[in-house]
Structures are given as C-alpha cells and as structure tokens.
A and B are shown apart, each in its own frame.
Chain A
Amino acid sequence: MSLLLRVRDLEVAYGAVPAVMGVALELPTGEIRAILGANGAGKSSTIKAILGLVKARGTIELEGRPIHGLATHRIHQHGVAWVPEGRQLFSTLTVHENLEMGAFSRGNGPDFRSRVDQTFEMFPRLRERRSQLAGSLSGGEQQMLAIARALVSEPRLLLMDEPSLGLAPKVVQRLFEQIQEINARGLSILMVEQNARQALKIAHYAYLLEAGRLAAEGSAETLMASEDVQRAYLGG
C-alpha cells in the first residue's frame, strides 16, 4: 500500500508555548486515520501545520514530495482539502458560491457542475438550499456544506477537524456513515476528533496525542481494547 501522507518530527509553537512536540504520523492511501486527544493536546495544530496555516518544523510529505514550507494555497493545489473545526463556511456567500470557492483552483466548467451534482446526490438538502446564504443553514446542513465544499476540489487527502462538534447525536451518527461512504469511494481521510468512540468505529488506525506528544498509536481495535485508552478517552 502506498503512503499518501508522512509527517515526521513535527514541532509547532505559539510564541514560547509549544503545542506539538515531535509528532510523527502516516496515512496510507485509502485509509481513514484519526488523531485523538483532549482539548489542547495539539490535534488542530497538527492539522493546521499540514495545511501550512501555522509555522512548523519537521517534514511533511505528500506521496514522497515535501510540502512543508509551501504557502497554504499551494498546498491545496497538491490535493489537500480541509473541513475546518466549527465548519467555517463563507456565511455571507450562498451555498452554491461556497461550492464554487471549494473548486476555486479547479475552475467551474462542466467538470465542476458534475462534481456539484455528485455532492448534491450525497447531500440532497444542499440542492434545495443552493441559493440560500450559508449562514442561514442549520448546524447539520452547515457540516454537509463544509464537507461538500472540500469534496468539489477532488482532493487526494481530506483533513477533517472535529466534524462532530456541536451536532446532535442522531446527526453525528449519519455524519460518520457519510464519512465512511466518502472513504469507500477512495478518498484518504485524516480526522481529528474528541469523540474517540465514534472515531474509532470508522477509523482504521489512530494516534493519541497528550500535551503535544504522541502517547499511543495503533489499529482501532487495539486502541479500543487498551485499558489505558478506555479509561482516559472512552469513559469506561
């Protein structure tokens, strides 16, 4: 299996405060992997470092090609898409305009229209609301749009930051099914989640961060079975 993403010796600091210290992780093509951990463990900083949104040291390679140090918009052009924490839609733009922004570097020719149609098949509610402002959608719909916006760029790597945050339990259930469907179509996903139990249900493999360091890693089954992990993250 080929390696899509490889991160080594990642260090992120905000001023004098270190957020990520020596983290290493890998994502083989086609897998879902999760980064778990408490608030402030460095999960989001890791994602932002991969996106080039925070200054970081270490190496980040996409299919063997280093992408660290590139400007964020260039990293996107290598096929990296982001579903940010809290959705972060362009709320003053319509649903359709948000999708056009998702495909900004791909242009909006006939190709774009067929990709939009594909995402509308997955999220029919978005089709009904295509000319509404994104800010007027419900929480669940906003999460659909955040995912759809990332998918229309036809990424190779999808980075998801806390996709379940702030959603009702029923909506979360459906969301994780949809993430699995997206992965089944061949998209590789690296996901940050505080909801460890849900994340381990769909992830193949997970990394556990504690205070900026890698505390444990392993297949979802191994982590699920580990007593330490159970006690600390799964509430039992």
Chain B
Amino acid sequence: MALFLQQVLNGLMIGSTYAIVALGFSLVFSVMRVVNMAHPEFFMAGAFGAYLTIRYVTANFFGVLAGGMLVAAVVGLVVERLAIRPVRGRYVLIPFIATSGVGLALQHLAERVFGSDPVAIPPVVPTVVYSLGPLSVTRMQLVTFAIAAVLMVGLRFYVRNTKWGRATRAVAERPEVAAAFGVDVDFVSRLTIGISALMAGAAGVSIGILYTSAWAFMGLLYGLKSFVCMLVAGNRHIEGVMVIGLLLGVLEALVSGYVTSTLRDAVAFGVLVVVLVVKPNGLFGSYSV
C-alpha cells in the first residue's frame, strides 16, 4: 500500500508537468487549428532558459523560473512568426509540417549551441525531503506541482473570466465573426502561442531542475506525451486535458513501480492506442476540424 501511494504521489508530481505542456498544445489547436509540432521545443527552451539564467543572471528560484518562461515565450513568438502566421487558415497539414521544420531546426540549433550531451543545471532548490508516514516527497517535487497547479488554475480563470479569454473562446469557435466584432484575431493567436509557450517553459524549468539537466532533444518524448494527452482527452474541455495529464503521470509511476521502469515511456502510447480504438474522439469529446 505504501508503495502504491508513493507511486501515485510521484506520478501526480510529474503528471502535473505533462498537464501544463499538454494544455498549451491543446489550447493552440483549439484556437488556431494548428497542431504545433514545435511546442515541445518551448519546453526545451524553458530548461535552457533556466540554465542560462543560473549561469549568467541569478540563482534565485523565482528569477530562474521567470528567465526560463521568458526564453520559452520568445521562442514561441518566433515560431508563430516563422511557421504559423505565414500559413494561417491553410489546410491543417501545412502548419503541421511548417512547425515540424522549425521544431527540428530549434533542436539542432540548441545542439550547436549547448552540445549534444545534456548540460548540468546546478540545484537552485535545496534538497529537502518531507515525510508523511511512509511517504516522502522532495521540496522540488512540491514546487513543480505547485507551479503547475497555479498555471492550470490561472489558465482556467483567464479563459473563463477575462475579456481576452472570452475573445479567445470566440476565436476558437468562429474567427470570422469574432473579427467582425472587433477582435484582432492575429493578436489573439500570438497571445495564445505566448501563453502556451509560458506554460511549457515553466514545465521545462521544473523538469530541468528536478532532473538537474537540460538537453537539446529533451522535448521529443515530452511533446509526444502531451500530444497523446490531447488526443486521449479530446479538446472540448481544458479540464479533460489536465486530468489526463495527471493520470498519465500516475499510470507511468505505477508501471515503473510494479512492472519495470523500462516500460514507463510505452504507457502513454499504449493508452493512446486503446483510446483511439474505443473512443476515437477522445474521452471527453472533441470539436470537429
């Protein structure tokens, strides 16, 4: 029982980062009908942003977090400018291919700059372990979860209760009508990409610090998993994507704990296959494109 609870706890901590990466991915798809294949590189940019901030600016955790998110947001706006804006409104495969290209370029740019081996991120959060009975959790795990939770709640509030969030939902459903009522659709698109990049960047900072490294190709697996989360959840409710992200983390942790950790990364794809066979529109339903 203790092992089970411990793995669930570990899973929730990691799952929260899947959730925020997947949320941005799903948000961009809902609003812009763009499968942004460069999204995982926002995560990677966040981790390297953290590395650069620690090396050249500050080792204060909040400064590092802000630095990583900022770098990710800048990369996000560059991707929007290069690979999304020029092909706006085109068939869904065209931005898919364009963003794949820019994503690959970003990976190899990072490899050029930082080398093909992971770079070490020094610990900026002291290694403190909290125990509750048989369960233990590190401070950085809690920080990771807290950041993700704040971002999830914040995004939900933004989308539901603010003027620009409302405009974002309107653009997601009917971009032409939203424009005819005064919404600058291009601005909403940039805003949405920016928000998705900030969230993925925060996850990159957390994971970079948690695993003490940043790597040019670290986005690949994370990106695939967040893609899986979106497909499994469907993109109708952002809550669905959050829940699936958390569940995926838990499931992976249980498989590592009870079966073997080498199968951990296969879990997401196994779940995807099953869900696509049983409910092709995702568990919570989706908009048709």
**Which residues of A are at the interface with B, using a C-beta cutoff of 8 A?**
51, 53, 71-73, 75-77, 80-82, 84, 88, 90-93, 97, 100-102, 104-105, 108, 149, 153
Contacts and interface: CB of A to CB of B under 8 A. Distances in A.
A101 B173 contact: no
B190 to A, nearest CB: 14
A154 to B, nearest CB: 12
A72 B180 contact: yes
B242 to A, nearest CB: 18
Contacts of A77: 182
Given A72-B179, A90-B173, 13 more contacts: A53-B180, A72-B180, A73-B184, A77-B182, A84-B177, A84-B180, A92-B173, A93-B169, A93-B173, A97-B166, A100-B166, A102-B181, A104-B183
9 contacts: A71-B184, A72-B180, A73-B182, A73-B183, A76-B181, A76-B182, A101-B170, A153-B181, A153-B182
A101 B166 CA distance: 8
Contacts of B178: 90, 101
Most buried by A among B178, B179, B185: B179
A75 B178 CA distance: 12
Contacts of B180: 51, 53, 72-73, 75-76, 80-82, 84
Contact of A90 (B177, B182, B184): B177
B173 A91 contact: yes
B163 interface: yes
Given A71-B184, A104-B183, A153-B182, A88 B166 contact: no
B173 A105 contact: no
A60 to B, nearest CB: 15
Contact of B163 (A53, A72, A73, A104): A104
Contacts of B169: 90, 92-93
B155 to A, nearest CB: 17
Contacts of B173: 90-93
A128 to B, nearest CB: 22
Interface string B240-257: 000000000000000000
Consensus secondary structure, chain B interface: helix
B179 A88 contact: no
A72 B176 contact: yes
B174 interface: yes
Interface core residue of A72, A82, A149 (most chain B CB under 10 Å): A72
A77 B177 CA distance: 14
A81 B163 CA distance: 19
Interface string B138-182: 000000000000000000000000010011011001101111111
A93 B180 CA distance: 17
Interface string B264-280: 00000000000000000
Nearest to B287: A92
Contacts of B184: 71, 73
Contacts of B185: 73
Given A73-B184, A76-B181, A153-B182, A53 B170 contact: no
B174 A88 contact: yes
A149 B185 CA distance: 18
A105 B177 contact: no
Most chain B CB neighbours (cut-off 10 Å) among A71, A73, A76, A149:
A73
A149 B181 contact: yes
A102 B183 CA distance: 10
A81 B176 CA distance: 13
Nearest to A105: B182
